[in-house]
Amino acid sequence: MSVVATYSILGDWVRIVGGEHVTVTTLVGPGGDAHTYEPTPRDSVALHRAALVFENGIGFEAWLEKLFVASRSAAIRVVVTRKITSRNLISSSGQEEIDPHVWHCPRNAEAMVREIADALAARDPVHAADYLGRADDYIRKLNTLDAWIGEQIATIPESRRHLVTTHDTFGYFSDRYGFEVSSVMGSVSSESTDPAASDLAEVIDRIRAAQVPAVFTENIINPRLTEQVAREASVSIVPSLYTDALGPPGSKGATYLELMRFNVRTMTEALR
């Protein structure tokens, strides 16, 4: 069965749950930024051939609706976040934004994996037990991951649990594990224009006031602005967390489980 996943983290889950019964095409691959992605004709072909399309939703793939219509696809669209309560934040421009980065919380990942398994089982009931069984196995790994993250975060003094990244991607992670978050761009989208000098100055002042020991770059975004903020705030810069995409095959973020463990190790080493 041919299926499509819109971005690499989601594609990782679909491959694991689908196993040998599915062929997965991922539109935004490792290292790619779904916020700024520009679809290709190959994407349209993949959608047209697919039986199912797995998407994040919550505004993450703003380009998908137009692409799906243009492809004349008859695929069933599966929004894997439909049972997750989204969080909002106010951007630096004063606009309310819905945060789509739900996967940084393993509890949300569990709900998304369940949606994948249920959709595959409904479309291909002959192999339903395989899909549901693989989802159960993977969710046990997510529960282990969640407990491990809690143990690691407990080693960081509460006063130092402040994540500064390029865009606002760790909101759900911070809600789960007790961090304060700031971003250089002041938005959940990496499409935002460069912030005004006054906004950058405010971020720098906040970093200094909180005595933040380090700021983090991201694998999907040019680190230029974040490096500038780190220099002016006189703090360390840590390259680079995996945020909205997996790393390439063979990297320390090649799968979701590896991505999360790498990110948490990097955070704890920099903030302790």
Residue 235 · residue 213 · CB < 8 Å: yes
pLDDT tens per residue across span 151-202: 999 999 999 999 999 999 999 999 999 999 999 998 899 876 678 888 889 8
Which 3 state secondary structure label does DSSP give 77? strand
- 157-271 fold: Rossmann fold (3.40.50)
What per-residue confidence (pLDDT) applies to 169? 96
What is the tens place of the pLDDT at every residue in 50-108?
999 999 999 999 999 999 999 999 999 999 999 999 999 887 778 899 999 999 999 99
Cα–Cα distance, 165 to 162 (Å, whole number):
10
Give me the DSSP letters along 206-263. HHHHHT--EEEEETTS-SHHHHHHHHHHT-EEEEEE--SSPPPTTSTTSSHHHHHHHH
Topology annotation, domain 2-146: Rossmann fold (3.40.50)
Closest CA to 106 of 84, 123, 91, 127: 84
CB 59 within 8 A of CB 98: yes
pLDDT band at 33; cut points 50, 70, 90: very high
Kindly state the tokens that stand for 138.
């993977």
135-150 pLDDT tens trace:
999 999 999 999 999 9
Q: Where are the domains of the chain?
A: 2-146, 157-271
Rounded to an integer, what distance in angstroms lies between the CA atom of residue 1 and that of residue 49?
A: 10
pTM assigned to the model: 0.95
pLDDT at 129 over 80: yes
* Single-letter residue type at 255: T
pLDDT at 82: 97
The number of C-alpha atoms within 13 Å of 24 and in the hemisphere containing its C-beta is 24
